[in-house]
Amino acid sequence: MDGSASPSRDTATPLLGSEAGTAGCHAGAEVLRDAAAQAGKSETLERYAADYPKGPHDQPQSMCPAFGSLRVGLRMRRTATVLSGSACCVYGLTFTSHFYGARRTVGYVPFNSETLVTGKLFEDIREAVHQLADPALYDAIVVTNLCVPTASGVPLQLLPKEIKGVRIIGIDVPGFGIPTHAEAKDVLAGAMLRYARTEAENGPVAAPRSRADKPTVALLGEMFPADPVGIGMMLEPLGLAAGPVVPTREWRELYAALDCAVVAAIHPFYTASVREFETAGRRIVGSAPIGRHGAAAWLEAVAEVTGAPRRKIDAAKNAVLSGISAALAKAPIQGRITVSGYEGSELLVARLLIESGADVPYVGTACPRTVWSDPDRDWLEAQGVEVRYRASLEQDLAAVDTYGPDLVIGTTPVVQAAKQRAIPALYFTNLISARPLMGPAGAGSLAQVINAALANKVRFDRMSAFFEGVGSGETAGVWEDVPRARPEFKARYAKIRAALHKQEEAVGT
Ligand code: SF4
């Protein structure tokens, strides 16, 4: 159970208003961005542009960004989520969240052109929030503007800040302002930290369920549940404990996170969250205790910020480094592997693979470059690895062609392309980032799945040989005759199309 008393439903639930329906989201990013700016969202868009810089191209090919923030809200106890957006977007988002086991209601305030332009949509959202705000059920309600309501300037910031003690958090998460779903997690985590920081500044707040008896290191970024436990053991000789993981699973954990001694930006793209921690006077440490080199450097960095004496640093390193070396030696990985993904932990995984013995020539991440991944980038580049931030699908595929890996770790389309080339491939999100990666527990955890995949090469070759000659693309399938290309037909239709185009232009002038 999720801790909420609300019944689970498996679809988006209309709360108010009329049928959704607008063609606005087909208009294109540029048009929506301009519309949003004119509708009073310039400040929000400028902050997003600074927090989540794009480039070298517009943005990586990734799922709807709002999935990131939706998932963060759905994973929190006593938190209700409400989406405001086109029905097709909401359908896709709720489908995906239930596919990933949300088991929670997703509230939905539909709209049509009239309610959107007359401001009735905002009134509907406000009414929905008042209906939902039951302090017996919820600590917080998160309302998210998707593309069209953001472009139309639906002013969620005008919602009441709290109703009967239930906090109301309104966020804009448009696809034309937030490049990846990873960064959308930061939009919500940052908004919640900001709210919680303001509460803590204004008076006493709820104590966490359990309080560490030592200063803590708050952990930024979703990770495998065993990792915070392992990190806590590594920190113990330094006189520190692992603090909450942000995004948190409960509102009161936000206060505990803000109360930390130092923040570990395990995932390096949480720019808005970092801003809140820094405003609260906390310092940030980049990278993560991954592999022997990573763990040694990370413990030194944490110790430097917290002022731990040399003897404690040496004790901490002695306690874990030999265990990590032993685990790495026991589970070696041999083979050439390219890595790409959109979770933000791609550089860490590449480090671990290299320390396990793999040859990793390329790592691409959909996330942007930030100072908190600089230690990982420096280390990887020193090993000769090509590191690409905001990597596009084309760049990831080009790396596969250039480096000829034995195994490809990547996003769905990269994995699919690799398998078509008879190269074993593993999906980053489901198979790699859903394992322990940190410290001694992480050191050997990748080897089993990676080595099993590498050993599959012979099956791919057998399959390729079996299907050899059945054709590909438009010639795929079983035919009585071998399909013949008909360039003369294509040329004739191209001529007809060109003539029609000319006629239309002539009519237009
Ligand atoms: S909210 Fe925006 S990015 Fe997400 S599915 Fe809808 S149109 Fe696409």
Query: Best mutation site among 86, 90, 187 for ligand 1, i.e. most ligand atoms within 8 A of its Cβ?
Result: 86
Neighbours of 20 (CB within 10 A): 24
Centre of ligand 1 from the C-alpha of residue 178, in Å: 11
pLDDT at res. 17: 33
Contacts of residue 485, defined as CB under 8 A and 6 or more positions apart, other chains included, come to none
Residue 171, domain member (yes or no): yes
Q: Name the band, by pLDDT with cuts 50, 70 and 90, for residue 57.
A: low
- 100-109, 351-360, 383-392: lowest mean pLDDT where? 100-109
pLDDT-derived band at 58 (thresholds 50, 70, 90) equals low
- For ligand 1, whether the C-beta of 25 sits within 6 Å is yes
294 and 384 part of one domain: no
Question: Domain holding 92: CATH number?
Answer: 3.40.50.1980
CA of 147 to the centre of ligand 1 (A): 6
In this structure, are 304 and 269 located in the same domain? yes
Averaged confidence pLDDT in the chain? 89
> Domain check: are 247 and 337 in the same one?
no
- 22 plus 164 within the same structural domain: yes
Same domain, 122 and 68: yes
Q: Tell me which residue range forms the domain holding 48.
A: 12-179
**pLDDT at 55 (0 to 100):** 58
Q: What is the mean pLDDT of residues 54-77?
A: 81
CB of residue 146 inside a 6 A radius of ligand 1: yes
Q: Is the CB of 36 under 6 A from ligand 1?
A: no
- The pTM of the full predicted model, rounded to 2 decimals, is 0.85
Name beta bridge partners: 387. Answer: 363
Are 24 and 173 part of one and the same domain?
A: yes
What's the rounded mean pLDDT across residues 327-353? 95
* Nearest alpha carbon, ligand 1 atom 6: 89
pLDDT value at 23 more than 50? no
pLDDT of the residue at 38: 81
Residue 347's pLDDT band, with cuts at 50, 70 and 90, is: very high
Residue 462 structure tokens = 């057998």
Judge if the beta carbon of residue 83 lies within 6 A of ligand 1. Answer: no
- Final residue in a domain of this structure, among 291, 326, 361: 326
In this prediction, what percent of the chain has a pLDDT beyond 90?
A: 70
Among the candidates 463, 479, 502, a domain finishes at: 463
| 188: in domain | no
Residue 26's pLDDT band, with cuts at 50, 70 and 90, is low
**What is the 146 CA–ligand 1 centroid distance (Å)?**
6
- pLDDT confidence of residue 5: 30
Hey, whose CA ends up nearest to atom 4 of ligand 1? 64
Segment 456-470, tens digit of pLDDT = 999 999 988 888 877
Instruction: Check if 284 has its Cβ closer than 6 Å to any atom of ligand 1.
Output: no
* 72 and 110 together in one domain: yes
487 part of a folded domain: no
* Binding site membership of 85 for ligand 1 (Cβ less than 6 Å): yes
How far is CA 450 from its chain centroid?
A: 23
Q: What's the sign of the alpha-carbon dihedral 35, 38, 43, 46?
A: positive
Average pLDDT over residues 315-327: 94
Whether residue 489 is contained in a domain is answered as: no
What is the distance in A from the centroid of ligand 1 to the CA of 100? 19
- State which H helix or E strand residue 175 sits in: none
Residue 41 included in any domain: yes
For residue 20, the CA-to-ligand 1 centroid distance in Å is: 14
Least confidently predicted of 129-133, 298-302, 487-491: 487-491
326: CB partners within 8 A, 6+ apart: 440
CA distances from residue 371 to 31, 139, 266, 271, 345 in whole angstroms, order as listed = 32, 34, 12, 10, 14
SS3 365: strand
Residue 176 has pLDDT above 50, yes or no: yes
Are both 322 and 354 inside the same structural domain?
A: no
Secondary structure of 436-484 in HEC code, one letter for each residue? CCCHHHHHCHHHHHHHHHHCCHHHHHHHHHHHCCCCCHHHCCCCCCCCC
Of the residues 282, 310, 326, which one is the last residue of a structural domain?
326
| 4 falls within a domain | no
**pLDDT for residue 12 is more than 70:** no
Answer yes or no: do 173 and 276 share one domain: no
Task: Verify that 343 and 237 share a domain, yes or no.
Answer: no
C-alpha to C-alpha distance for 127 and 37, rounded to whole angstroms: 26
pLDDT confidence band for 352 (50 / 70 / 90): very high
Does 26 share its domain with 175?
yes
Distance 88 CA to ligand 1 centre (A): 9
Mean pLDDT of 378-383: 97
Ligand 1 centre distance from Cα of residue 121 (Å): 18
> Which atom of ligand 1 is least distant from the CA of 64?
4
Ligand 1 centre from 98 Cα, in Å?
A: 17
Count: domains in the chain: 3
The pLDDT tens digits of the residues spanning 196-249 come to 999 999 988 888 777 778 999 999 999 999 999 999 999 999 999 999 999 999
Q: Residue 56: pLDDT band by 50, 70, 90 thresholds?
A: low
427 occurs within a structural domain: yes
- Taking the centre of ligand 1 as the mean of its atom positions, its distance from the CA of residue 60, in whole angstroms, is 14
| Ligand 1, pocket-test mutation among 22, 25, 63, most atoms within 8 A of CB | 25
Residue 9 has pLDDT above 60, yes or no: no
Give the amino acid at 284. I
Same domain, 314 and 353: no
pLDDT for 496 equals 94
Asked if the structure places residue 149 within a domain, the reply is yes
